């Protein structure tokens, strides 16, 4: 089985390349030099020309704050290019797997979000990701949209790496405590996409939107505390818990990003990973890397 993957340097793309060989999945990964996501037609052409058995889009415009002032680019990368890929995949009957986000919700309430809950993004990033979901669904081909949240790994930019860097420089840090979600290791997302890809290849694939995130739910401040407790920093910084209002950003963040992951468990047999266990693995890799 072979997968055409859009993205080479993102957190999930790197983990896909790492994990795919373990199950015999061959990856043809396209970087910006071969498929510019600001050119939807070029992305569609790559799908039309591929000899792969399925397509995975692991690329996105993830600069949440920058999207507020650069919505046109976010729209191309997060919505129009995935839509073009999905239509080209549908025309050939190729399953199309895509990563979306908790930002399609407004973050209200306290219960975990279901796939069927009303969507109401707060900013440009969430709005463009939602448009991408709608274009993919409208394409009509076999597809899975995997909504996830709070992605971290030993690669790229993420909260874990930021906390470790700042924690080594400062005695105390102020971290938001009124936003809650489920931190999700990129390698768990990659393993989930691979499992779904195998299901489609074996004729067991079910199309639709699925939630997948780590457990248990926590705040950013809780996550920071766990990062420092897990790390080998010689002096652990103290974490001061602050409200979101004390840390204003161009884009508003959802207060509640907790997602109900029952559907993916029931249909694909994929359970929620414990982010605390994965955090140990990620920090161990970071501390081994010069």
- pTM over 0.85, yes/no: yes
CA dihedral (102, 144, 96, 52) in degrees, to 10, reads 120
Nearest to 134 by CA among 55, 59, 90, 78: 78
pLDDT per residue over 179-230, tens digit each?
999 999 999 999 999 999 999 999 999 999 999 999 999 999 999 999 999 9
Give Cα 234 to chain centroid, integer Å. 32
What pLDDT is attached to residue 79? 98
Q: How far apart are CA 247 and CA 149, in angstroms?
A: 20
The verdict on residue 283 lying in a domain is: no
The verdict on residue 56 lying in a domain is: yes
Domain of 100? 2-157+183-216+259-274
What CATH number is given to the structural domain containing 95?
3.40.50.720
The verdict on residue 268 lying in a domain is: yes
The verdict on residue 14 lying in a domain is: yes
The verdict on residue 169 lying in a domain is: no
User: Residue 32: pLDDT band by 50, 70, 90 thresholds?
Assistant: confident
The verdict on residue 140 lying in a domain is: yes
User: Residue 124: pLDDT band by 50, 70, 90 thresholds?
Assistant: very high
SS3 label, residue 44: helix
SS3 label, residue 286: helix
What pLDDT is attached to residue 290? 66
Tally of domains in the chain: 1
Give the C-alpha distances (Å, rounded to integers) separating 205 from 54, 64, 135, 181.
12, 31, 20, 28
Residue 91 and residue 84 in contact, taking contact as beta carbons nearer than 8 Å: no
Active site residue 247: no
Choosing from 61, 103, 125, 268, which is the catalytic residue? 125
What kind and span of H or E run contains 165?
helix 159-169
Instruction: Give the chain's mean pLDDT.
Output: 96
253 φ/ψ angles, rounded to the nearest 5 degrees:
-95, 150
Give yes or no for residue 145 having a pLDDT over 90.
yes
Residue 16 and residue 190 in contact, taking contact as beta carbons nearer than 8 Å: yes
What kind and span of H or E run contains 147?
strand 143-148
The verdict on residue 139 lying in a domain is: yes
SS3 label, residue 172: strand
What pLDDT is attached to residue 33? 86
Give yes or no for residue 234 having a pLDDT over 70.
yes
Q: How far apart are CA 191 and CA 142, in angstroms?
A: 19
Burial of 241 (0-12, 13-18, 19+ CB in 10 A): middle
104 φ/ψ angles, rounded to the nearest 5 degrees:
-75, -15
Task: Quickly list DSSP for 201-218.
Answer: HTT----EEEE---BS-E
Q: How far apart are CA 15 and CA 151, in angstroms?
A: 12
pLDDT per residue over 68-114, tens digit each?
999 999 999 999 999 999 999 999 999 999 999 999 999 999 999 99
The verdict on residue 178 lying in a domain is: no
Nearest to 139 by CA among 194, 190, 58, 81: 81
Q: How far apart are CA 256 and CA 150, in angstroms?
A: 12
Give yes or no for residue 154 having a pLDDT over 70.
yes
User: Residue 41: pLDDT band by 50, 70, 90 thresholds?
Assistant: very high
């Amino acid at each position: 089985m072979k997968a055409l993957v859009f993205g080479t340097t993102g957190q999930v793309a790197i983990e896909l390349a790492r994990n795919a060989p373990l199950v015999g999945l061959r990856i043809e990964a396209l970087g910006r030099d071969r498929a510019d996501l600001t050119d939807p037609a070029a992305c569609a052409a790559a799908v039309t020309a591929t000899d792969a058995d399925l397509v995975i889009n692991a690329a996105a415009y993830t600069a949440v704050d920058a999207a507020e002032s650069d919505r046109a680019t976010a729209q191309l990368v997060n919505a129009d290019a995935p839509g073009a890929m999905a239509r080209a995949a549908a025309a050939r009957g190729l399953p199309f797997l895509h990563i979306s986000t908790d930002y399609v919700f407004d973050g209200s309430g306290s219960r975990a979000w279901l796939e069927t809950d009303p969507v109401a993004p707060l900013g440009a990033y969430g709005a463009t990701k939602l448009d991408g979901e709608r274009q993919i669904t409208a394409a009509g081909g076999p597809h899975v949209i995997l909504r996830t949240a709070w992605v971290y790994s030993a690669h790229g930019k993420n909260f874990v790496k930021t906390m470790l860097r700042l924690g080594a420089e400062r005695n105390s840090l102020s971290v938001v405590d009124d936003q809650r979600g489920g931190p999700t290791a990129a390698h768990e997302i990659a393993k989930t996409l691979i499992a779904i890809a195998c299901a489609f290849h074996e004729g067991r694939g079910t199309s639709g939107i699925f939630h997948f995130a780590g457990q248990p739910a926590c705040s950013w401040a809780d996550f920071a505390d766990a990062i420092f407790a897990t790390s080998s920093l010689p002096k652990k910084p103290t974490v001061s818990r602050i409200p979101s209002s004390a840390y204003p950003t161009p884009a508003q963040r959802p207060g509640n990003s907790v997602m109900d992951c029952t559907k993916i468990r029931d249909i694909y047999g994929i359970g929620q990973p414990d982010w605390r266990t994965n955090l140990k693995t990620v920090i161990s890799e970071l501390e081994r890397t010069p």
